[in-house]
């Protein structure tokens, strides 16, 4: 379980790192605080000792005089048996008495009263804490200033500091341990729904697309909803597929059944003319069936989301002219007037020419089959459009969406396959074009428009 690779690790790392930093900060603070506290406590000893000495400083024989109280030195030493030093100096800093010549303190005088200063000094290789009291004689003969310096080694302070620190450390470590345990539990508990979701998905029947019904916290509920939406789409797609397969097999069965019945009928006859007539009928039907099968195939191909044909730049006018050439004879024979109304110059889009040709062919076929007398193929610019307009019966507004479904026909005369418009729709989607169905110019007929996106330069 790497940290970055697991949610558990990530959460833990992002919670534990600040916790660690906080712990380190607390430790640091405890360290300094313990030192300050110990120094404050022991500086009072320096304070008291300097006061006890200063009180015994007198003016005698025209000079400073000290009757050193032994208790002043005793109070400088705690149970830790510190080494003790003291010095008395006069106003000019001249040594009067003492068992050591302690250095002066650089601090300034207090505004009033005695000046008390503390400092850490190094004296003969020993780290000492020094206390300095600047005072003056309260004598009517002399107001001489003097300075009492005392110092002791740090054993007592260090012992107190360690003791304080140990107390703090125990607290901090205890809290830290508690926090880590809480953290581990909390992260584990928080991630339990995820495990539940995984188990629920694993335990599902792979064939079912039923939506997931599981109580989950909000963040995971969103994930569940997204999953359910996906499942719902898959259910719809599958329903469509099932209907399409049903429709397709029905569509193929009808002409095949016709062929079979026609052949059976012909076999009972003896006349070659009748056989021929039957064979011609069978031939026509099988051709229609073949076309139906091909349309099914191309529709399947268009519906396949994996299928992405390579589009190339092409001229819509060329497509239109080619379609008119291909269908002119058929239409002329059927007495239909097929015309083209091309925009000037080239109307270029990115597309696949055979697909566009098939779409146009389907539209022309449809129009012809549904009884149009005039069919006009047109191209327009900005945005590039293909328009097929006829004067046939048209499609009522409320059915215009339905006719785009496979196997839905404008009327039931057994002639069309019902796939034509669905295929056109598929091709339009394939080109990123929008298919709109409307009415002809005088409110009659059908106007089909394919609106392409602007060709990228």
Partner 1 sequence: MTLRRLARLASLATLCLLPFAVYAEETLHLPAEASAGPMRPLVIHAALDLPQARPLLEDFHRRHPQIDLTYRNLTTLALHERFLERPDEADVMISSAMPWQFALANEGHARPLGGPILDAWPAWARWRDELVAFTFEPIVMVVHRDLAELAEPPRNHAELLALLNGHRQALAGRVASYDPVRSGAGYGYAMEESRLSPRYWDLVAALGAAEAELVETTGAMLDGLVEGRFLIGYNLLGSYAAPIVEANPQLELVIPDDYALVTQRLAFVPRRAPHPDTATLFVDYLLSVEGQRTLAERTSLGAIHPGLDGPGTAAELRGRLGDALRPPGLGPGLLAALDRLKRRALLARWQREFRRDPGDADSAAAPAAD
Rounded CA-CA distance 121/127 in Å is 6
Measured from the CB atom, the residue of 152 and 161 that comes closer to partner 1 is 152
List beta partners, residue 453. Answer: none
Does residue number 125 form part of the binding site for partner 1 (CB under 8 A)? yes
- Binding-site member from 15, 19, 100, 231 for partner 1 (CB under 8 A): 100
Shortest reach from residue 66's CB to partner 1, in Å? 5
Which residues between 398 and 437 bind partner 1 (CB under 8 A)? Answer: none
Region of 95 please: left (phi>0), alpha (psi -120 to 50) or beta: beta
Can you list the alpha helix ranges (DSSP code H) found in 79-154?
none
Distance of closest approach, residue 126 Cβ to partner 1, in angstroms: 6
Say how many C-beta atoms besides its own lie within 10 A of residue 403's C-beta. 19
Q: Which of 65, 118, 275, 407 binds partner 1 (CB under 8 A)?
A: 65
**Which is closer to partner 1, CB of 70 or CB of 206?**
70
By CB under 8 A, which span of 2-10, 61-69, 202-210, 319-327 interacts with partner 1? 61-69
Q: Which of 6, 29, 91, 99 binds partner 1 (CB under 8 A)?
A: 99
**Binding piece for partner 1, criterion CB under 8 A, among 59-67, 226-234, 268-276, 369-377:** 59-67
Interacting residue with partner 1 among 39, 46, 50, 98 (CB under 8 A): 98
**Residue 139 binding partner 1, by CB under 8 A:** no
d(CA 26, CA 168): 9
Query: Please, which residue, 71 or 173, has the CB nearer to partner 1?
Result: 71
Task: Provide the mask over 75-94, with x wherever binding to partner 1 is found by CB under 8 A and - wherever it is not.
Answer: -xx---x-xxx---------
- What DSSP line would sit under 140-199, residue for residue? SS---EEEEEEEEESHHHHHHHHHHHHHHHHHHHHHHHHHHHHHHHHHHHHTHHHHHHHH
Kindly provide the b/e burial profile for residues 110-143, where b requires at least 16 CB atoms within 10 angstroms of the residue's own CB.
eeeeebbbbbeeebeeeebbbbbbbbbbeeeeee
* 74 sits near partner 1 (criterion: CB under 8 A): yes
Please, what is the minimum distance in Å from the beta carbon of residue 34 to partner 1?
Answer: 23
Residues 196-217 as b or e (16 or more Cβ within 10 Å = b): ebeeeeeeeeeeebeeeeeebe
Contact positions vs partner 1 (CB under 8 A): 65-71, 73-74, 76-77, 81, 83-85, 96-100, 124-126
């Amino acid at each position: 379980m790497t940290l970055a690779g697991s949610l558990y690790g990530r959460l833990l790392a992002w919670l534990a790192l600040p916790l660690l930093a906080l712990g380190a900060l607390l430790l640091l603070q405890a360290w300094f605080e313990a030192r300050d506290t110990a120094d404050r406590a022991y500086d009072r000893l320096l304070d008291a000792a300097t006061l006890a000495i200063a009180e015994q400083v007198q003016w005698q024989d025209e000079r400073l005089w000290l009757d050193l109280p032994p208790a002043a030195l005793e109070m400088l030493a705690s149970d830790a048996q510190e080494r003790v030093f003291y010095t008395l100096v006069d106003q000019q800093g001249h040594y009067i008495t003492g068992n050591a010549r302690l250095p002066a303190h650089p601090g300034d005088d207090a505004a009033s009263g005695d000046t008390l200063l503390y400092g850490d000094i190094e004296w003969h290789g020993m780290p000492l804490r020094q206390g300095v009291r600047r005072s003056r004689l309260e004598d009517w003969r002399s107001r001489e200033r003097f300075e009492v310096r005392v110092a002791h080694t740090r054993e007592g302070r260090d012992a107190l500091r360690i003791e304080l620190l140990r107390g703090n450390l125990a607290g901090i470590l205890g809290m830290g341990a508690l926090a880590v345990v809480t953290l581990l539990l909390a992260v584990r508990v928080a991630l339990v729904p995820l495990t539940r979701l995984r188990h629920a998905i694993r335990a599902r029947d792979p064939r079912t697309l039923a939506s997931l019904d599981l109580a989950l916290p909000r963040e995971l509920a969103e994930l569940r909803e997204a999953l359910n939406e996906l499942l719902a789409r898959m259910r719809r797609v599958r329903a469509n597929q099932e209907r399409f397969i049903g429709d397709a097999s029905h569509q193929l069965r009808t002409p095949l059944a016709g062929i079979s019945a026609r052949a059976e009928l012909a076999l009972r006859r003896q006349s070659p003319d009748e056989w021929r007539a039957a064979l011609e009928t069978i031939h026509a039907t099988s051709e229609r069936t073949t076309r139906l099968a091909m349309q099914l195939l191309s529709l399947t191909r268009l519906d396949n989301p994996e299928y992405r044909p390579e589009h190339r730049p092409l001229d819509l006018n060329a497509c239109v002219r080619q379609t008119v050439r291909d269908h002119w004879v058929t239409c002329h024979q059927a007495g239909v007037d097929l015309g083209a109304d091309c925009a000037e110059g080239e109307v270029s889009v990115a597309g696949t020419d055979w697909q566009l040709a098939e779409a146009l062919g389907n539209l022309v076929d449809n129009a012809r089959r549904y009884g149009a007398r005039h069919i006009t193929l047109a191209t327009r610019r900005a945005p590039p459009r293909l328009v097929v307009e006829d004067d046939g019966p048209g499609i009522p507004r409320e059915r215009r969406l339905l006719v785009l479904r496979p196997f839905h026909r404008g009327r039931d005369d057994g002639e069309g396959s019902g796939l034509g418009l669905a295929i056109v729709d598929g091709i339009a989607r394939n080109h990123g074009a929008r298919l709109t169905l409307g009415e002809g110019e005088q409110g009659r007929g059908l106007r089909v428009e394919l609106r392409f996106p602007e060709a990228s330069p």
